[in-house]
Amino acid sequence: MAQVNAYLTFNGNCEEAFTFYKSVFGGEFPYIGRFGDMPSSEDGKQLSESEKNKIMHVSLPISQETVLMGSDTGGEWASHFVAGNNISLSLNTDSREEAERLFNELSEGGKVTMPLADTFWGAYFGMWTDKFGINWMVNYDDPSQMKHE
C-alpha cells in the first residue's frame, strides 16, 4: 500500500526552511542531496556554484507514518514556481507495479512533468499534475538498485 507524504518546493531557501522545521519537530535528516551531487547533464550545461549548493532533496521524519520532504527549484523548473502552488503529494510504493498503476491512473487526463523512469539515486520515480491541478510524485525505492554508502 502506498504511503502519502507532503513534498514542498522552495525558491532557493529549502535548507533554511527545513532547518526551521527540524527545530520545531525535532529529529534528524536521513538524507540531504544537493544539485551538485547529480551526474553531469548530457547537454554539457554546467550548474553555477549557487545552483550546485541548492537542495535537490531533503527528508525529515515527523512521525512514524509521516515524512516531510522538500527541494529547491531551479533551471527550467524555476519558471513553474508559484508561491501557494509549491506542494506535491508524494506516493511511496511497495512495488514497481504499484508505482506504475498509480502513475498511469492518476495522471490520466493530466500533464506528466517527469515520465516514470529509473533514476541515478536508485529509485523508480515520476511526476505529474492531475486533471484537477494537483501535483503528484510517485517513488519506488527498488532494493536491488539502491546505492550503498
How do residues 100-115 score in pLDDT, each as one tens digit?
A: 999 999 999 999 999 9
C-alpha to C-alpha distance for 117 and 124, rounded to whole angstroms: 5
pLDDT in the model for residue 118: 94
Q: Is the pLDDT of residue 27 over 70?
A: yes
Q: Is the pLDDT higher at 45 or at 29?
A: 29
DSSP conformation letters of 83-114: TT--EEEEEE-SSHHHHHHHHHHHHTTSEEEE
Grid cell at residue 76: 527550467
Full-model pTM: 0.70
Enumerate the domain spans of the chain: 114-149
Grid cell at residue 39: 551526474
